[in-house]
Chains A and B, each alone.
Chain A
Amino acid sequence: MKGVEIAVVGGGPAGLSAAGSALQAGAEVLLIDDGQHLGGQLVKQTHKFFGSKEQYASTRGIEIGRILEKGLEGYSNLEVWLNSSVVGYYPDGVLTVLKGEKLLKVKSTKLLVATGAAEKMLAFANNDLPGVYGAGAVQTLMNLYGVLPGRRALMIGAGNIGLIVSYQLLQAGVEVAAVVDALPRVGGYWVHAAKLRRTGVPILTSHTILRAEGKEWVEGAMICPVDGQFRPIEGKEQRIEVDLICLAVGLSPLSELLWQAGCEMKYIPPLGGYVALRDRDMETMVQGVYVAGDSAGVEEASTAMVEGRIAGLAAAVSLGHRIKDAVGLKEELWEELEMLRRGPVGEKVREGVKRALI
C-alpha cells in the first residue's frame, strides 16, 4: 500500500492551490484526479476572471489552470495520479482509488477534499431528452473539444454561468434564442448581462421552461412567464425552436467523501447544499480531513484557490512542517477571502460561510 502525508482529491483550482502550498511547506503530496488533465473546470473557462491580482484577475480561466499546474513543476515530493477516482475512505485513513482499471489503496495521514461540485437538475417535462445539457457540459464540448453542441440554444438561468456560457455559445457560432430565468431580475453580474444584450439575445426574467419537445431528442421548448409565486401564467405559453436546452440552475457540492469520512454535514442553501463544518484551517470535524473549493460550498474559482492554499498550508503545518510566519500567512489568506466575498453579490455566501465555520 502506498503511504503519503497528504492526499489531495481533485485537481481543480482548489486542489492545485492546496497541493502547491503544501509542497512549498515541504509536505509530501499525492494529487488525485478522475480526469485526463489537471485544472478541473478551469480548462474550459475562456472568460477573463475578476477579483484581485492575487487571483489572476483579467486572466482567462484556461490560463490560470496552466499557471497553477506549472507551479507544481519541479517538486520531487509530489506525485500526480490522473484518470483516478477515489471510491472509498476508511476509518483507518485508507483511500481506495480506481486508477484506470486497477483498484489501489493509499494510506494518507491527511486527506484534503477538493472534489468540486456537480450541476443541479431542473424539473420539467422531458428533461431527460438528449439535447438537454448542463451548462458545464456545453462548455466542455465547445471549449475543450471544439464540438458544437447544437445550432440554436435556450439557456435556463441568468446567473453568471448562464450568461457566460450563452456568450460562449455565440462565440462558437451557436445561435442563442433566449435566456430565461424564473427570478424577476438577472442574478449574474451586470457586465456579463450587458455583453449578451448588446448581441441582441433576449433575457426573459420571470420566465420558466414548461417542457422540452421532441421524441428522440430536443426539437423545441415551451416557455412561459411566471407570476410572483413562480406559477406559470396560463395561456401565455410560447414555443421556441431550439435543438439545445442548456441548464445553468446552480451547482451542489460533491461531498460523498466527506460523508464517508464521517464529517459533520450541514445543509446550507447559500453554499449549494450539504457542506462539512470546518474551522479556519479548513479542517472538518474529523481530525485530519480538510476541505476546500466548491466541495466546501459553491463559490468562485478565485475563492477556491485561496481556500485551497489555506487548507494545504494548515495540513502541512499540522504534520510538523515549518514555514515562516504560517500564522500571519493564514491571516492574509483569510483577508483575501473576505475581500473576494465583499459587496452585495457576496452577501449570501458570507452568510453561508458564517454558518459553516466552527
Chain B
Amino acid sequence: MRITQHPILTFERGGKVSFTFDGRRLEGYEGEPIAAALHDAGVKVLRRSMKLGRPRGFFCAVGKCSSCLMMVDGRPNVRVCMEPLREGVRVETQRGKGALVERG
C-alpha cells in the first residue's frame, strides 16, 4: 500500500515499471528499492532461513541485516532493500545460500 496523503511529505517517484516476483507480474516505481515495491504489493516473506526454513522479511532497510537477501535476475544474496528496481527484473524468493552464477 502506498501513502497517498501526508501532512508533510510529497513523494517523488520514478516512472512505473513492471517486474516479476516468483513468476508473478508486479508493478513498482523505477529506482525505488525492490523491497519497497514488494511491500506495496503485500509481499512480506522475502526469503527462508537456511536451517529451519523460517520466513524472513524486511528488517533494517539499510543493507546491514541480511534479512532481505533474494535472487535478482538469477543472482543470489542481493539486498533488495538497497537494490534499485528496474524494468523487467526477475525477483525470486531465495532458499538456502544460493549458488554462484557464471556470467555469459
Using Cβ atoms and an 8 Å threshold, which residues of chain B touch A132?
A: 57, 59
Complex partner residue of B6 from A131, A145, A149, A172, CB under 8 angstroms: A172
Tell me which of B19-27, B48-56, B94-102 binds A.
B48-56
Contacts of A142 in B (CB 8 A): 3
Contact yes or no, B56 A130, CB < 8 A: yes
- Whole-angstrom distance from the CB of B77 to the nearest CB of chain A? 13
If A147-B36, A172-B6 touch, does A130 touch B44 (CB 8 Å cutoff)?
yes
Which residues 170-195 of A have a CB within 8 angstroms of B? 171-173
Take A128-B49, A130-B44 as given contacts and tell me if A146 and B58 are in contact as well, using a CB distance cutoff of 8 Å: no
Chain A residues lying within 8 Å of B57, measured Cβ to Cβ, are: 129-132, 217
A136 contacts the other chain (CB 8 A): yes
Does B36 lie within 8 Å of A145, measured CB to CB?
A: yes
Interface string of B1-24 (1 = CB under 8 A from A): 111011111010100000000000
The yes or no answer to A148 lying at the interface (CB within 8 A) is yes
Structural contact, A131 and B9, CB atoms closer than 8 A: no
Please, what's the 1-or-0 string for A47-84, where 1 marks a CB less than 8 Å from any CB in chain B?
00000000000001000000000000000000000000
Tell whether, in the assembled complex, residue B44 and residue A217 are in contact, meaning their CB atoms are under 8 Å apart. yes
A35–B82 touching, CB < 8 Å: yes
Q: Does A5 contact B (CB under 8 A)?
A: no
Question: What's the Cα separation between A129 and B64 when bound, in Å?
Answer: 17
B13:A130 contact, CB within 8 angstroms: no
Residue interface mask A4-47, B partner, CB < 8 A = 1: 00000000000000000000000000000011100001000010
Taken together as a complex, chains A and B put the C-alpha atoms of A241 and B82 apart, in Å, by 30
Q: Counting CB contacts under 8 A, is A216 at the interface?
A: yes
Which B residues form the contact surface with A (CB < 8 A)? 1-3, 5-9, 11, 13, 31-33, 36, 39-40, 44-46, 49, 54-65, 81-82, 84
- Among B54, B55, B81, residue most surrounded by chain A Cβ atoms (within 10 Å): B55
Which of B3, B8, B62, B84 contacts A140, CB < 8 Å? B62
Whether B8 pairs with A129 at a CB distance below 8 angstroms is no
Closest-CB distance, A38 to chain B (whole angstroms): 14
A215 to B, closest residue via Cβ: B55
Chain B residues, CB < 8 A from A129 = 55, 57
Is A118 at the interface (CB under 8 A from chain B)? yes
For chain A, the bracket of interface size reads: 20 to 34
Q: Can you list 16 A-B contacts with CB-CB less than 8 angstroms, sorted by A residue number?
A: A36-B82, A118-B60, A128-B56, A129-B57, A130-B45, A133-B58, A136-B62, A140-B81, A141-B39, A145-B33, A147-B40, A148-B2, A171-B6, A216-B44, A216-B45, A216-B55
C-alpha spacing A119/B81, complex, angstroms: 15
| Complex Cα spacing A12 to B2, Å | 26
- Please, how many angstroms separate the alpha-carbon atoms of A146 and B40 in the complex? 9
How far apart are B12's CB and chain A's nearest CB, in angstroms?
9
Residues of the A chain whose Cβ atoms lie less than 8 Å from the Cβ of B36 = 141, 145, 147
Name, among B2, B8, B32, the residue most crowded by chain A CB atoms within 10 Å (CB to CB).
Answer: B8
Given contacts A147-B3, A149-B39, A141 and B45 within 8 Å (CB-CB):
no
Partner of A171, one of B7, B40, B49, B82: B7
Q: Does A255 contact B (CB under 8 A)?
A: no
CA–CA, A27 and B6, complex, Å: 42
- The reply to whether B11 and A146 form a contact with Cβ atoms under 8 Å apart is yes
A117-137 vs B: 1/0 string, CB under 8 Å?
A: 011000000001111111011
Asked if A295 lies at the interface with its beta carbon under 8 angstroms from chain B, I say no
> CB distance B61 to A141 under 8 Å?
yes
Complex CA gap A227/B26 in Å reads 49
| Contact status B9-A146, CB under 8 Å | yes
User: Which 6 interchain pairs have the tightest Cβ spacing?
Assistant: A130-B57, A137-B61, A146-B11, A140-B61, A145-B36, A130-B44
Contact: A131 with B56, CB < 8 Å? no
A143 at interface by CB-CB < 8 Å: yes
